[in-house]
Amino acid sequence: MQSIAIQDFRSLLEESIAILDIRDKGAYKENHLAGAISIPTTSLPNRLSELDKSTTYYVLSHSGRRSEIIAEFLNNNGFQAIHVIGGMKALKKAAA
């Protein structure tokens, strides 16, 4: 499974990348990256048909723990997923 450091992820944000935000709806509404796809962890197994297997997804959670598990799950199911190390927590800290 591939992972990306928060500094490298930040440099990609100006490009057209697919971000999969797996946090719950409340956390997503409170703060999210523009254009991010919101599919909470608990909904993901039932919503895989909404994802495209030819797209690389950068998986983002709150602290990066769940995104690592979900990125592995997606990769095991034929998707291309990259775990964003540190998640939104690290992204917020890096922007400060």
Domains of the chain: 2-95 (3.40.250.10)
- Residue found under tokens 């048909």: 49
Q: Which of 71, 96, 91, 94 is nearest to 31 (CA)?
A: 91
Q: Which of 96, 94, 75 is nearest to 5 (CA)?
A: 94
Residue 95 — very low, low, confident or very high, per pLDDT cuts 50/70/90? Answer: confident
The pairing of beta strand 18-21 with beta strand 37-38: parallel
Residue 37 — very low, low, confident or very high, per pLDDT cuts 50/70/90? Answer: very high
pLDDT, position 94: 86
- Residue found under tokens 């592995």: 72
Residue 25 — very low, low, confident or very high, per pLDDT cuts 50/70/90? Answer: very high
- Residue found under tokens 């928060």: 6
Cβ(87)–Cβ(62) below 8 Å: yes
32 token code pair: 């999210």
